[in-house]
Amino acid sequence: MKIRLSKSFQFEAAHWLPTFPEGHKCRRMHGHSFRIDIVVAGEVDQEKGYLIDYGTIKQAAQPVIDRLDHYVLNEIEGLENPTAEMIAKWVFDHVSQHLPMLTAVRVHETCTTQAEYRG
């Protein structure tokens, strides 16, 4: 049985979007309560009855989330233009090194907006 599952993480961070037009509100420094969904997929081990321990996902993702929490994202290498799209790819690239079954990262910048990156 093939299945997809996800685990959500939250962090607080500030950023500004340097490629937005002068005068645009997103060009100014502001903050968000971000939510990140780490999505994995694969075949369920029939003997165990599960795909992966959620704790394994947390172990792979938490150090990456900790690197973002309460920082100015623009100051993190690779996130000089920290749009939701770029954050999703950055998180994917870092988490996938420790979680081979990673298939997607969703970044919820607000409760009504999100970006999804599938590697």
Q: Active site residue: 32, 94, 108, 109, which one?
A: 109
Q: Active site residue: 24, 30, 70, 75, which one?
A: 70
Contacts of 69 (CB under 8 A, 6+ apart): 11, 12, 13
Closest by Cα among 78, 75, 77, 73 to 109: 73
Q: Is 26 a catalytic residue?
A: yes
What gap in Å lies between CA 26 and CA 19, rounded to an integer?
9
Structure tokens at 116: 């999804």
| Cβ-contact 10, 35 below 8 angstroms | yes
Q: Active site residue: 26, 85, 98, 116, which one?
A: 26
Q: Is 111 a catalytic residue?
A: no
Residues classed as catalytic: 26, 70, 109
